[in-house]
Structures are given as structure tokens and as C-alpha cells.
Amino acid sequence: MLRKLAGRLTAALALPLALTLAGGGAAGASAPMQDLAASATIQNDVFWKDTAGNPIYSQGGGVLKVGNVYYWYGVKYNGAVTYYNNPAGGKNGNTGFSAITIYSSTDLANWKFEGNAITSSELNGGWIGRVGVARNPATGKYVLVSQLDSGLVFLTSSTPNGRFTRAGTQSNIANVTTGMSGDQSIFTDDDGKAYVIFSNKSGRSHLYVSALRSSDYLHVEPAKNIYNSSAGGREGNIMFKNAGTYYFCSSDLHGWNSSQTYCISSRNIMGPYSSEFVLKGTSADFSHVTQTGLAFSVTGSAGSFVMFGGDRWSDFAGNGIGYHQWMPVTFDGTTPTFHSVSQWNVDAAAGTWSVGSGNNYVLNPSAEADRVAQTDLAGWTNSGSANNNKLGGHTGRWSFSQSSSSAYSASRYQNITVPNGTYTLSAWVKSSGGQRKATIFARNFGGSELSSSINRSIGSWTKVTISGITVTAGSIQVGVQSDANAGNWVNVDDYTLVRS
């Protein structure tokens, strides 16, 4: 059972939480709430395990639905195993290839390991990644496309969950400014035609759509340049479709780090495309501390939504726990919204979803979204001086910090829209002690402010908790506040706000 423990939700979206709810395919439509007995639970911010209890290793991949079964293909990197076994040891640079893995599921939460599509002994190469699979209608073969060093490799199998064999390579894609793809994914349209969605290899500011050769899918046809970014490179390129509109989405060129999600849209897969816009709901925590990785439609008897699979390259970025963060995307007309939930229920057969009872409503709760040292952190508001982030956290690389060489007064807080109810706020803290006042607080929820004092010496990470917060105002403000002397400091990490 792929039950993934606690995490961090994000309420950035006005989840007033809507979100009993479930995705809409038609403009503005929302499906009725389904019986949760038919639902499975997706838990982000943890390492996922398969139905046999083993870690899921599947990064930089894609999902193909065959009948009522979803097949998930991705790469097992040697460094992913290292990080899973000791995340406190921090990020590593071991991108050595172990295998392309295959998992299957009918409910999108419980994944069975089907085996390896191919292993390192069969597919020699330095870099192997950005995997996608499509079924070719002419041959009936399942074709896997992956980057292999500076080119592409094509593999085929007669079944979606069988062993794949090497069927060809390609070293150049016509009409691409640098001749080859940077990041890429495979998109299969409603008519069964498959395309490569990518940016150019160097610089990655040029975005392209290319069809796979219709006779066998073993070659990428000349590319159509559909957009050029003037604001930097775009990577992690994915595509999804809703109500006849195509959405080409990407992340910033941040290496292994997280990013808000940028999209362009069109009624024709080859364009023309709209101006670039930021996917609603991805700014406050940089797409739930991920970059774009995969996307596919979930359509059922009662509704539909798009599954956004964000890659959290924690093995190579050190930005927390978990490699896979999957969130729903819904639509208001042609406007897509990303719902940054840490725990949610999905009914794949019905095409519906709802927010989980263990959802964490704090955005960017571990200071991991920003990836660099700075004062202003995504999702949070500063008041006064002395706010920053600091390398070294309870989990991940970063934590929140208040400190100064002179006396200071400072607060850092987040205003969150939540359903009315009773909540528990927790955070992990360290403190120098000696402050006139230092607290973790909850306020503006419809009752008197509640707080936990941390103006004492706390030398190791310690969890503080405020329980029984009865929200009647539909929103709450949480954060940390210090009235401190020169040299005093507090560090805070891993906020959670969970409904009781």
C-alpha cells in the first residue's frame, strides 16, 4: 500500500478548500464528492514504497494508460538509493544509471513493481533519463524514448510491462537550434499520435514539439519551434490537454532545484501558442518543491483532472524527503490551477479527488523552495529585520532563521485559507535563548492568539506544538516572532498545520 506519510500541503491556492472536491474537465465543472471508501490516499513528502514494501525508484519518467492500468516508467539512479538510505547525509552527484523501471497501478496510489524495462548492463551510457513510452498503432509495439548521453535511444516491447530491447538511436533532431533535446517528455494525443515535448539542449530557451515517425515511432521528425523564452531557459518540459486546449509547461533552468511552473497554451499542438504565464498555485512553494516532471489526464465516470507529477530531485538537490510529489490540476474554463496538497484522496475510476485529513496546509514549510540564501522566502511574509534562511535544517538543506548582531524585532508569517475546524500547529526549533520574547504563534483565526515560547536555550532540534486551534474565520496566520538582543537567534523548520 503506497501510503505516504506526512507532508506539507499547500494552501496557496485558495483551497478554501474547495476541496472537498474533484477536478473539472469541462469549463468550470466540478464532479461530486465520491465515497472515500472507493478512494486511495496519495501522501507526498515521503519516500514512496511499492506494494511489496520496497522503495519506488522512478525519476524523470512518464505514465502511459493501457485499458484501466496506468504504467509508470522512470529511471533508477544509484544516487537515489544512497539518499534514500541516508537522507541526512545530504545530496550527492551519483547520476549513475541502474535501470529503467516499470510500475503499474489502477488507483494511482498503490504501485506494483513490474520489473526493469532495461538495465545498465544492457544499455550502456553516461547520462540516461527523461523517459517516455507510447504505443505505436501501426506496429502494436510499445516504444520507449530516452535520452542517452548526447542523443536519443529507442527501445521496444510487445507488452507495456515487458522487457524492452534497443531498436535505434538518433543524434540530431532537424530544425533544433542546437540539434538535440534538452529536457523532454512524450505526449500521446487523443487520436493516438505521439510527440516529443522538449527544449533545446544548450540554453534551453527554445521550446519545440516534434512528432514521432508514424510508421514505428523510432525516429523524431523535424521539430516545430513553438515558443522562445526571453526570461531564461526552460526545462522539465511536459504537456497536458484539457477540453481541446494544449498546455506546454516547464520549469526554470535551476538544475536539480524546484521552480514555479511556466505554461503556454494553444488550440493546435503545433501552435500558435499564447504568451507565457505562471501556472496558478505554483509560486508560493515552487510547485510543491518540485520541477515539472510528468503529466497525464485522469478521466472517470464522474469527473476529470490532470495529474501533475513533480520531480523532487532530493538525491541531487538535498531538498527534503521524497522523490515523487503528485498533485491534481483542475480547470476554470481554460485556466488551469495546481493544488499543492501534501495528502489527498483519489478515485481514479470516478476521476475525482479530495483533500486528505492529514493534509499540511503550510506552504514551503521547510524553507526548501528557494534553493539559495535570501531574506524573502517563497510563501512567507517578513516583518522587521533579521529574517533569513540558513543552511542546515531538521530535514533538507535549509531552515528559517532570525538572527542579528544587533538588537532586533522580527516576525515571519504566512496567511493561510483553510476550512473552519480545529487544527494543530507544529514546528521544529532551535534557539540561543535570551530573547525578551520568542514564540511560534497562531493568530487571526477567529479566537485569541495562541503561542509557544522558545526564548530558552534549545540546542538540538525540538518539536513544539500548539493544539486545539479552533478556526472560525476561514483563515489563519502562523509564524515565528522574536524580540531579541544582539546575538540571539532562532531556527525553525518543518512547519505543519493539520486539521484535527
Give the chain's largest Cα–Cα span. 74
Give the domain CATH number at 455: 2.60.120.260
- Whether residue 484 contacts residue 407, with contact meaning beta carbons closer than 8 Å, is answered with yes
Residue 21 lies in a domain: no
Is residue 418 domain-shared with residue 326, that is, in the same domain?
no
Using one digit for the tens of pLDDT, what is the confidence trace for 319-355? 999 999 999 999 999 999 999 999 999 999 999 999 9
- Give the integer Cα–Cα distance in Å for 497 and 500: 9
Residue 69 lies in a domain: yes
Name 10's Cβ contacts closer than 8 Å, sequence gap at least 6: 281, 284, 285, 288, 340, 341, 342, 361, 362, 363, 364, 379
Is residue 79 domain-shared with residue 170, that is, in the same domain?
yes
Give the domain CATH number at 184: 2.115.10.20
Residue 67 lies in a domain: yes
Is residue 404 domain-shared with residue 450, that is, in the same domain?
yes
Using one digit for the tens of pLDDT, what is the confidence trace for 382-417? 999 899 999 999 999 999 999 999 999 999 999 999
Is residue 304 domain-shared with residue 424, that is, in the same domain?
no
pLDDT of amino acid 16: 35
How does residue 14 score in pLDDT terms, banded at 50, 70 and 90? Answer: very low
Is residue 387 domain-shared with residue 277, that is, in the same domain?
no
Alpha carbon 401 to chain centroid distance?
A: 25
How does residue 24 score in pLDDT terms, banded at 50, 70 and 90? Answer: very low
The amino acid at 69: V
Residue 26 lies in a domain: no
Is residue 351 domain-shared with residue 398, that is, in the same domain?
no
Output Rg (C-alpha) for the chain, integer angstroms. Answer: 23
Number of domains in the chain: 2
How does residue 25 score in pLDDT terms, banded at 50, 70 and 90? Answer: very low
Per DSSP, the three-state class of 335 is strand
- Give the integer Cα–Cα distance in Å for 336 and 346: 18
- Give the integer Cα–Cα distance in Å for 215 and 138: 6
Residue 152 lies in a domain: yes
How does residue 195 score in pLDDT terms, banded at 50, 70 and 90? Answer: very high
How does residue 94 score in pLDDT terms, banded at 50, 70 and 90? Answer: very high
Residue 365 lies in a domain: no
Is residue 277 domain-shared with residue 350, that is, in the same domain?
yes
Is residue 327 domain-shared with residue 435, that is, in the same domain?
no
Residue 20 scores a pLDDT above 60: no
pLDDT of amino acid 125: 85
Is residue 338 domain-shared with residue 445, that is, in the same domain?
no
Give me the DSSP letters along 90-135.
-------EEEEEEEEESSSSS-EEEEEEEETTTS--S-EEEEEEEE
Is residue 306 domain-shared with residue 402, that is, in the same domain?
no
C-alpha cell belonging to residue 89: 547525509
Query: Which among 316, 338, 355 is the end of a domain?
Result: 355
Mean pLDDT in residue range 77-98:
97
Using one digit for the tens of pLDDT, what is the confidence trace for 367-379? 999 999 999 999 9
Residue 37 scores a pLDDT above 60: no
Residue 47 lies in a domain: yes
Mean pLDDT in residue range 451-465:
98
- Give the integer Cα–Cα distance in Å for 432 and 23: 47
DSSP 465: E
Is residue 197 domain-shared with residue 307, that is, in the same domain?
yes
Residue 23 scores a pLDDT above 90: no
Is residue 233 domain-shared with residue 159, that is, in the same domain?
yes
pLDDT of amino acid 385: 87
- Give the integer Cα–Cα distance in Å for 134 and 155: 11
The proportion of the chain whose per-residue pLDDT surpasses 90, expressed as a percent, equals 91
Cβ neighbourhood burial of 138 (10 Å; 0-12, 13-18, 19+): exposed
- Give the integer Cα–Cα distance in Å for 223 and 238: 16
Residue 235 lies in a domain: yes
Range of the domain at 147: 39-355
Residue 77 scores a pLDDT above 70: yes
Q: Order of strands, edge to edge, in the sheet holding 261-266?
A: 234-242, 245-252, 261-266, 277-278
Question: To the nearest whole number, what is the mean pLDDT of the chain?
Answer: 93
Mean pLDDT in residue range 1-30:
35
Per DSSP, the three-state class of 36 is helix
C-alpha cell belonging to residue 177: 537550434
Cβ neighbourhood burial of 192 (10 Å; 0-12, 13-18, 19+): exposed
pTM above 0.95, yes or no: no
Query: Which among 318, 338, 355 is the end of a domain?
Result: 355
- Give the integer Cα–Cα distance in Å for 312 and 325: 7
Q: Which residues does residue 55 pair with via DSSP β-bridges, in sequence order?
A: 49
